[in-house]
Amino acid sequence: MHMEKKKIDTQKLINHLNGKWGQVKCPLCNHGQWNISDTVYELREYNDGNMVIGNVPIVPVVPVTCMNCGNTVLVNALLSGAVTQPKKVNENEKEGGDE
């Protein structure tokens, strides 16, 4: 089964970066041309190489890469507005009950 990857709101991410970074240059090479990925990745806590599924925190990030040296900054996709937090289903709604 193939799941379609979630699209990011690139314009919101660009607006966020422009507001926070301005014309920031790469701290490693001092160049200012960046590439913003159109893919969201997940950061999880390391667990001795074991994949933990379930109730573990996951941080969605978008890589922003310096086009000169490759330095990559990971920007939080939720805080930047690139993606929205999925809505949690209320326990009552899952069971189909009303109060």
Helices (H), 22-90: none
Q: In this structure, is residue 35 part of a structural domain?
A: yes
Residue 99 pLDDT class (50, 70, 90 cuts): very low
**Range of 59's domain?**
26-45+54-82
- 93 found inside a domain: no
Is residue 71 in some structural domain?
yes
Q: What amino acid occupies position 5?
A: K
Would 21 be classed as within a structural domain? no
Percent of the chain with pLDDT over 70: 82
pTM (2 d.p.): 0.75
Specify the range with the lowest mean pLDDT, choosing from 7-21, 22-36, 84-98: 84-98
Query: What's the structural domain count of the chain?
Result: 1
How many whole angstroms separate alpha carbon 80 and alpha carbon 57? 18
Confirm whether 8 is domain-assigned. no
> For residues 19 and 42, what is the distance between their CA atoms, to the nearest angstrom?
24
Q: What is the pLDDT of residues 22-65, one digit of tens each?
A: 889 999 999 999 999 999 999 988 888 777 777 878 899 999 99
Q: Kindly report, residue by residue over 23-35, the tens digit of the pLDDT.
A: 899 999 999 999 9
Residue 17 forms part of a structural domain? no
Report the amino acid identity of residue 69.
C
